[in-house]
């Protein structure tokens, strides 16, 4: 909180109280979220950012300072709405008082009031002449644009944050995430490299750099980065899931199962890891275990078409042809353009002597771009 320094004046009791303001450090915990899915740069992180706000020397009414101090106290107690109201009151008395403006923006971010956060930080950046905390203001404004799906504005603000303070790893990391999602994997690696130079223990940056390397075909580099990610954070479930995927791709199926199993120990509701481990069991010809994992994935996410199709293939191997047909139909109901589900349903229909239905499914799969579906059509169906 600011330190109150009253003027020495014999008329103190009869004049309005004014103070010079020096604003001290206020700590905010900024939750940086992104959807978690395998082999992407979308991850979830929690970072503590320090907001140290300095204003130009300004005569601040003591009432405004008190409202500001009350807002800081409310924030520290987790009373975010009260904090905003106190900062509002401080600004109503002195609109040029930048400390409550900056901190109100930060609290709006914590409350996920992203439009208000953007407005406050924009006003702060326009008014502040000291340059202090501009980097963090740009960064949190960028995060707000990201959550509002305004990707271009998010990218601009991340870059401005980096220009103002190129020593903060998370600024490079989040820009790298956006670049990854745009498909520019080489450039994403450059930003993840920068984040890791600044923070060699940044597990999410290792994980996402591994995913970018995988997309460029550098499987050994991806494997090394996933291993570094789990070394830096042994509780990072997504990194173990990705480690399993790269081991599977490299042919180490048992190692993949082990990595997926660790991901599930850390997060028992990780339906993607259940699906991925089930696919690995399928390749190991452990079809009953595969079905069990696909069951678990679907219990957690009943709309997961891939797991239905995968379970269809496993049930086919177990000679449960009707069950395989039913699962393929569920996948098609969720995603009518899912060509491989038509292919699998056709294969199972052939096994129950439904030649007409099988050919219809294979033709549909071929229309949807499944290359080997045309082979079934040519070998088993009438012209």
Please report, for the chain, the start and end positions of each structural domain, with discontinuous segments joined by +.
Answer: 1-151
What tokens were used for 76? 């520290």
pLDDT the model gives residue 328: 97
Give CA–CA dist 45/35, Å, rounded.
Answer: 11
Does position 9 have pLDDT exceeding 90, yes or no?
no
Structure-model confidence comparison of residues 15 and 324, the more confident one? 324
Q: What is the pLDDT of residue 382?
A: 81
The answer to whether residue 56 scores a pLDDT higher than 70 is no
| Structure tokens belonging to residue 376 | 């079934």
Burial class (CB in 10 A: 0-12, 13-18, 19+), 284: middle
Above 90 in pLDDT, residue 29?
Answer: no
| CA 271 to chain centroid | 16
Name every residue whose Cβ is closer than 8 Å to that of residue 234 and which is 6 or more positions away in sequence: none
Residue range 203-235, pLDDT digits in tens: 999 999 999 999 999 999 999 999 999 999 999
Determine contact, residues 128/54, Cβ cutoff 8 Å: no
- Report, at the CATH architecture level, how domain 1-151 is classified: Alpha Horseshoe (1.25)
d(CA 50, CA 46): 13
CB contact at 8 A, 120 and 105: yes
What pLDDT is recorded for position 74? 95
Residues 6 or more apart whose Cβ sits within 8 Å of residue 268: none
Distance CA 301, CA 330 (A): 13
Count of alpha carbons within 13 angstroms of residue 102, beta-carbon side: 28
276-316 tens-digit pLDDT = 999 999 999 999 999 999 999 999 999 999 999 999 999 99
Residue bearing tokens 């791709």: 249
Q: State the pLDDT confidence band at 48, using cuts at 50, 70 and 90.
A: very low
Contacts of residue 297, defined as CB under 8 A and 6 or more positions apart, other chains included, come to: 271, 272, 274, 275, 278, 304, 307
pLDDT at 59: 86
**Cβ contacts of residue 79 below 8 Å, gap of 6+?**
none
324, 316 Cβ separation under 8 angstroms? yes
In degrees, rounded to 5, the angle at the alpha carbon of residue 73 between the alpha carbons of residues 68 and 75 is: 95
pTM: 0.81
Residue scoring higher pLDDT (5 or 306): 306
CA terminus-to-terminus distance, the chain: 82
Q: pLDDT-based confidence at 23, cuts 50/70/90?
A: very low
Note the pLDDT of residue 57. 56
What are the residues facing 26 on neighbouring strands? 51
Q: What is the mean pLDDT of the chain?
A: 86
- What is the pLDDT, as a whole number, of residue 60? 87
């Amino acid at each position: 909180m600011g330190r109150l320094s009253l003027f020495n004046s014999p008329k103190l009791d009869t004049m309005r109280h004014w103070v010079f303001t020096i604003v001290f450090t206020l700590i905010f915990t900024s939750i940086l979220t992104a959807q978690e899915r395998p082999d992407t740069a979308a991850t979830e992180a929690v970072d503590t950012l320090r907001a140290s706000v300095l204003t130009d020397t300004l005569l601040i009414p003591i009432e405004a300072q008190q409202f500001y101090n009350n807002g800081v106290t409310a924030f520290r107690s987790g009373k975010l709405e009260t904090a905003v109201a106190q900062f509002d009151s401080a600004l109503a008395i002195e609109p040029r008082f930048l400390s409550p403006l900056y901190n109100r923006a930060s609290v709006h971010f914590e409350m996920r009031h992203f439009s208000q956060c953007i407005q406050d930080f924009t006003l702060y950046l326009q008014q502040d002449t000291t340059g202090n905390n501009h980097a963090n203001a740009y960064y949190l404004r960028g995060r707000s644009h990201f959550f509002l799906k305004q990707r271009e504005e998010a990218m601009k603000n991340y870059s401005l944050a980096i220009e103002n303070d190129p020593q903060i790893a998370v600024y490079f990391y989040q820009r790298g995430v956006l670049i990854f999602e745009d498909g520019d994997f080489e450039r994403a690696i450059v930003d993840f490299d920068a984040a890791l130079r600044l923070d060699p223990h940044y597990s999410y940056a290792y994980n996402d750099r591994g995913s970018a390397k995988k997309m460029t075909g550098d499987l050994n580099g991806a494997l090394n980065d996933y291993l570094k990610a789990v070394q830096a954070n042994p509780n990072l479930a997504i990194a173990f899931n990705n480690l399993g995927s790269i081991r599977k791709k490299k042919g180490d199926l048992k190692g993949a199962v082990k990595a997926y199993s660790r991901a599930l120990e850390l997060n028992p509701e990780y339906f993607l890891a259940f699906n991925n481990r089930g696919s690995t069991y399928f390749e190991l010809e452990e079809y009953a275990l595969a079905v069990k994992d696909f069951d678990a994935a679907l219990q957690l996410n009943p709309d997961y078409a891939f797991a239905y199709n995968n379970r269809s293939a496993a049930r086919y191997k177990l000679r449960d042809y009707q069950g395989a047909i039913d699962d393929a139909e569920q996948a098609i109901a969720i995603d009518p353009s899912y060509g491989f589900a038509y292919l699998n349903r056709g294969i199972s229909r052939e096994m129950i002597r439904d030649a007409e239905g099988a050919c219809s499914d294979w033709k549909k799969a071929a229309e949807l771009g499944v290359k080997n579906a045309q082979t079934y059509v040519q070998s088993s169906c009438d012209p």
